[in-house]
Amino acid sequence: MDRNSHINYILQLADNALVLGHRNSEWTGYGPILEQDIALSNIALDLIGQARYLYQHAAKLAEAAGTGRVTEDTLAYGRDAWDFRNCLLVEQKNGDWGKTILRQFLFSAWQYFFYEQLQQSRDSELAAIAEKSYKEVVYHLRWSSEWVIRLGDGTKESHGRMERALEQLWKFTGEFFVPAGYEKELTGIAVDPAVIRPLWEDRVGEVLAEAGLEVNPGAWMQTGGKEGRHTEELGYLLAEMQFLQRAYPGCEW
């Protein structure tokens, strides 16, 4: 097993959680209603918590490989866009509440089945992180599913907004199931995307049907995020998120 592949894989999972957590945190103080502002901020904190465990794990492996000083902070704040391994879906801009909800739903449905499988990983640290995170994701999926149904099956206005959101985001969901090069070398450690694909499709299909939303089954899918080829949105996100550590390296407060 290649240690670099292993580290890249953990970074992919960590970057997914950090980037979506950061996106969600952009809503803090701007939520449509106080209670939902808090709900989404809670999810943001859950995701950033997951990212921390994963970065810490990756940092330990990297240091053991003799790459010099690596910490969760250098991984989160010291890498550039092309080093990030997150899938394209999570870096997409918030848009309106409907788009944010739909992004969360599509991702949570993936994370739900993914963490379920990852608990069987031969990497016991990853398995433990998966077990802990799974409980959080069960709630994220429940919360976001209800909102997708509420908005999709709501007023003409909310339905139209959900249709637009689906049109914008659907093309980024195919990437979940296309293994990156480094994923293929990690038998027993990584989750086989082919296993979760039908589960994800069933669950997402059920919720979208209840919401009265339709997808184009043959839609073209954009990929590349897992290999570091990102949409332009990620650069802006990192510029804001990493600013302080870039301007004042190692700064603590």
**Interface with another protein (CB under 8 A):** 33-36, 38-39, 42, 139, 142-143, 146, 150
Question: To the nearest whole angstrom, how small is the minimum distance from the Cβ of residue 38 to another protein?
Answer: 5
Instruction: Report the alpha-carbon distance of residue 26 to residue 229 in Å, rounded.
Output: 23
To the nearest whole angstrom, how small is the minimum distance from the Cβ of residue 99 to another protein? 20
Comparison of 147 and 182: residue with beta carbon closer to another protein: 147
**Shortest distance (Å) from residue 152 CB to another protein:** 15
- For another protein, the closer of residues 43 and 190 by Cβ is 43
Question: At CB < 8 A and 24+ separation, what contacts does 114-117 make?
Answer: 114/191, 114/196, 117/191, 117/192, 117/195, 117/196
Least distance to another protein, CB of residue 25, Å: 15
Residue tagged 């550039």 (tokens): 80
- Cβ–Cβ under 8 Å, residues 141 and 114: no
Task: State how far the Cα of 84 lies from the Cα of 148, in Å rounded to an integer.
Answer: 29
Q: Which is nearer to another protein, 41 or 222 (CB)?
A: 41
First CA to last CA across the chain, in angstroms? 39
Shortest Å, Cβ 103 to another protein: 19
| 204 and 166 Cβ atoms separated by less than 8 Å | no
* Min dist. Cβ of residue 150 to another protein (A): 7
CA dihedral 15, 53, 140, 180 (to 10 degrees): 40
Closer to another protein by CB, 40 or 196: give it.
40
Contact 103, 169 (CB under 8 A): yes
Buried b or exposed e, range 62-89, using 16+ CB within 10 angstroms: beeeeeeebebebbbbebebeebbbbbb
Beta carbon nearer to another protein, 12 or 100: 100
| Shortest reach from residue 94's CB to another protein, in Å | 19
Question: Is the CB of 12 or the CB of 144 nearer to another protein?
Answer: 144
Contact 158, 98 (CB under 8 A): yes
- Which is closer to another protein, CB of 27 or CB of 176? 27
The structure tokens listed for 253 are: 């407060």
